[in-house]
Structure 1
Amino acid sequence: MSVSQRAQSSSKYDTPDAKARVAKAIEQLRPVFAERLSVGVSVREQHGRGEAFAQSYLPDAVIWPLSTAEVSQVVKVCNEWRVPVIAFGAGTSLEGHVSAPYGGICLDLARINRVLEVRADDGDCVVQPGITREELNAQLRDTGFYFPIDPGANASIGGMIATRASGTNTIRYGTIAQNVMALEVVLANGEIVRCGNRARKSSAGYDLVRLFTGSEGTLGIVTEATLRLHGRPEAVGSSICSFPDLRGAVDTVMELIQTGAPVSRLELLDELQVRACNAYSKLSLPEQPTLFMEFMGTEAAVTEQFERAVDIVKSHGAAGLEWAFDEQRRAALWKARHAAYFAARALRPAADCIVADVCVPISHLADCVAKARAQIDAEGLVAPILGHVGDGNFHVLFLIDPNSDDERARMDRVYDSMIETAHRLGGTCTGEHGIGMGKRDKLIAEFGSSVVDLMRRVKEAWDPNGILNPGKVFDL
């Protein structure tokens, strides 16, 4: 079956009994939600897939709740009729998290999107799940704080929590898991619970906040989150430097980290990705492996760090680095990195873009990236490489002809090899994208069936009817 055929696959649950149950649930919910419940095909298609995942499974209906109470009401009805419920944020996830392989009702949380409280004295805030990270930071602009977790896309906070998002600032601020303090969650039976607190540390009981964070909507639906905020730095400096080979770029990353430099971002683009960015963003960067770096602190401290970085990058083959403090020049320097996904797609506009994601210990990063590049070229594929190399995470953007089973098979060989290498070296099959539908077999390869069965037993205990985002993390 070709990728394009897979994209049109019908739901796995298409039986008379399932259809009857979902019809009963919709009938019961329609008077409550009226125009906020849609069964229109175009609306369902918009909610049937995220980014970069070929398969699209449509829900039977989409509902836009306005409160935690309404989310609870929908979940209670769906649990009564054993109808799947799929929480939907901004739709930017990459492993099929928001598809509905068993049909059911999609809960679009975009309208539950307020900042409920900002506590500047404590450096935290309370938000609803539908607010996006850019909207949150816009509302925090005058407080002196910001929320630094940046997965690249303008994702919703609820979606970021569900997939344990990280991104470009992870090297300094950690993932979202280190920045979520408390949650309000609707469980599979519709019960509303709160876990965590605003204290900076706690030894009280099981850490349920961390269990919900990264559970991909399979254990509960987040309806409120308390987030740790960070002070805006006095100065931020950004730089770009190019290297004659990948080894020099990655070795620079390792040395910068080992020296204890206060780096906030370390991003790598390989030569093909730089070529794509030059064409797409009308830039003139050298078409070589390129590092994007950012330092934060006082202006004097950042200047000192850049002066040290110049010596390091030169020792690994770079001619030097261009750096800037002011916002306009910094924005220009980062333009290529922020547009990298769209630039890569423009290399082959009609292609499907499958975004691979592995993470390895930093000492093995150079070899892993070089091996992936060699295998891609040997298979004759078009696939730029980029990554958050400061934490050992890199991505391959496979541009695949949707009508070519052969290209898909060649891509699978490369991707499988990347994951096998990552596992052998003590890494992971996904640094930040999650499991979703796309990597369920890789989760077993990473942890073994006993550990995955333990995860499954948690799911069965908390969601005995299996209604919360079924078919994700592990198959049913």
Structure 2
Amino acid sequence: MTSLSPALLQALHALLGDRFSTSVALREQHGRGEAHHAAALPAAVAFAETTAEVSEIVKLCASENIPVIAFGAGTSLEGHLSAVRGGVSIDLSRMSKITRVSAEDLDCTVEAGVTREQLNAYLRDSGLFFPIDPGANASLGGMAATRASGTNAVRYGTMRENVLGLTVVLPNGQIIKTGGRARKSSAGYDLTRLFVGSEGTLGIITEVTLRLYGIPETISAALCSFEDVQQAVASAIQIVQLGIPIARMELMDRGLIKAVNAYSGLNMKIEDTLAFEFHGSPAGVAEQVELVSAIVEENGGKDFEWANAPEERNRLWKARHNAFYAVVSQRPNAKGWSSDVCVPVSRLGDCILETRALLKDCTVPTAILGHVGDGNYHVVFAVDPNNAEELVEVAAINKKMVRHAISVGGTSTGEHGVGTGKIAYLREEHGDAVDLMSVIKRAVDPAGIMNPGKILP
């Protein structure tokens, strides 16, 4: 592990004052995310408040080849935040300014530490909203860095489609801007897409320019239960294939429903369930509801339960967003192991049935959930991080699930990112293209100081 020299410690203290710390408590907080991955503590934590400060921190660290790891809200699930070579964790949470909103152009620019909930609260009176919703109240810089998506992706896309431009601090401390506010451009390489999903391995994102959308005139939500998961997935596939512009379509298997009921104080029927949300004009929503109702009925769906009042919808989606914690809460002192894969929608049913078979004899609490409108599903395990046998068991299930997804043309991670948790599958998924990724990494970050040990083997 790389240690910080007295000269570097002094320089960082001089730059940041009490916003630079080597306390064990802060280092532990910044050395791990939400999931089961073992913590790896940085040597120090630096709280930046401006892009210029991030640049100065990076320059100081680069002068001694000290690793730097960007930290947002700490909600990552695949080991992105672990300081595997020590170094300095740069906390961007204080970079929380919304610097510009253009209602006419439907876009805004925010600092990296702004969270999605903070942005939507700020936008509410303007009639606009930002739709990408990964569940956690993640920072928008972190969401861009991991190419996040979530429950609204079936209609509004992912961060890849909704980031227009970035401000990035490179490994030498240089500040660059990528993209722009024009809705299309043919000028040069698409550097914005290079950094979206790069997980802090090429540079630190400090500002993000985002697409915005008008708040729908009508929003309606519903639950529908099924006797088996195959009926639910068949319904989801048909809804997608017919091009119905549904906003959210979430699968919650019966194990998750049971956990969510206990955790969130709900009383949902314990069956495999699809949760829907419809956006649009009153007539448009009515048409969507009619079409979806007919499809689910044909596939054995029953007991549509509506949640049209805002407080009812919020309660439903809050329960869905708390799914990870609901599963983990079933065991004292457990940690969550959450794996996500994404497959072509036509293969979704087969893959979920294959996964359910893998989970049949699993000895730890599990649940399947997913953004089935885009072929993305998750399995959450409640594991004892100190039980080696459990970790081996879950790792074996995870490996089979991931490899099956890749074998049918899918991906090892639909939205969580690679981090340290999915490195082993990158070459299996991308083949020799991984060599080009390595070339890009070496060209941009020759000393390898940007979040080392992530994405690339």
Aligned residue for 1:468? 450
Q: CA deviation at 1:418?
A: 0.5
What is the rounded CA distance, in whole Å, between the counterparts of 2:88 and 2:63 in structure 1?
13
Q: Which moved more, 1:31-40 or 1:374-383?
A: 374-383
Question: Structure 1 residue 359 and structure 2 residue 342: aligned?
Answer: yes
What is the rounded CA distance, in whole Å, between the counterparts of 2:428 and 2:106 in structure 1?
40
Quote the sequence identity (%): 51
Aligned residue for 1:188? 171
Aligned residue for 1:308? 291
What is the rounded CA distance, in whole Å, between the counterparts of 2:366 and 2:312 in structure 1?
29
Structure 1 runs not aligned, ≥5 long: 1-12
2:105 aligned counterpart, secondary structure? coil
CA gap of 1:402–1:29, structure 2 versus 1, over 3 A, is: closer
Matches within 5 A, 1:66-465: 66-448=49-431, 450-465=432-447
4+ aligned runs moved over 4 Å, structure 1: none
- Deviation by residue 1:234-258 (Cα, 9 ceiling, x = unmatched): 0111000000000100001011112
2:247 aligned counterpart, secondary structure? strand
Q: Which moved more, 1:346-355 or 1:97-106?
A: 346-355
Which letter does structure 1 place at the counterpart of 2:436? L
Which letter does structure 1 place at the counterpart of 2:108? C
- Deviation by residue 1:251-284 (Cα, 9 ceiling, x = unmatched): 0101111222110001001111011111122222
1:378 aligned counterpart, secondary structure? coil
What is the rounded CA distance, in whole Å, between the counterparts of 2:370 and 2:235 in structure 1?
14
Q: CA deviation at 1:335?
A: 4.1
Aligned residue for 1:48? 31
Q: CA deviation at 1:379?
A: 3.5
2:302 aligned counterpart, secondary structure? coil
Which letter does structure 1 place at the counterpart of 2:78? E
Question: Structure 1 residue 27 and structure 2 residue 10: aligned?
Answer: yes
Which letter does structure 2 place at the counterpart of 1:99? S
Which letter does structure 1 place at the counterpart of 2:343? V
Structure 2 runs not aligned, ≥5 long: none
Contact 1:310/1:320 (8 A) holds in 2? no
What is the rounded CA distance, in whole Å, between the counterparts of 2:122 and 2:38 in structure 1?
36
What is the rounded CA distance, in whole Å, between the counterparts of 2:48 and 2:265 in structure 1?
42
Which letter does structure 1 place at the counterpart of 2:263? Y
Q: CA deviation at 1:101?
A: 0.7
Q: CA deviation at 1:22?
A: 4.2
Contact 1:352/1:400 (8 A) holds in 2? yes
Q: How many residues align?
A: 457
Q: TM-score, normalised by structure 1?
A: 0.94
What is the rounded CA distance, in whole Å, between the counterparts of 2:403 and 2:5 in structure 1?
40
The two structures, once aligned, show a CA RMSD in angstroms of 1.2
Aligned residue for 1:9? none
Which letter does structure 1 place at the counterpart of 2:298? S
Q: CA deviation at 1:400?
A: 1.7
Q: CA deviation at 1:389?
A: 0.6
Q: CA deviation at 1:24?
A: 3.1
Which letter does structure 1 place at the counterpart of 2:285? V
Q: TM-score, normalised by structure 2?
A: 0.98
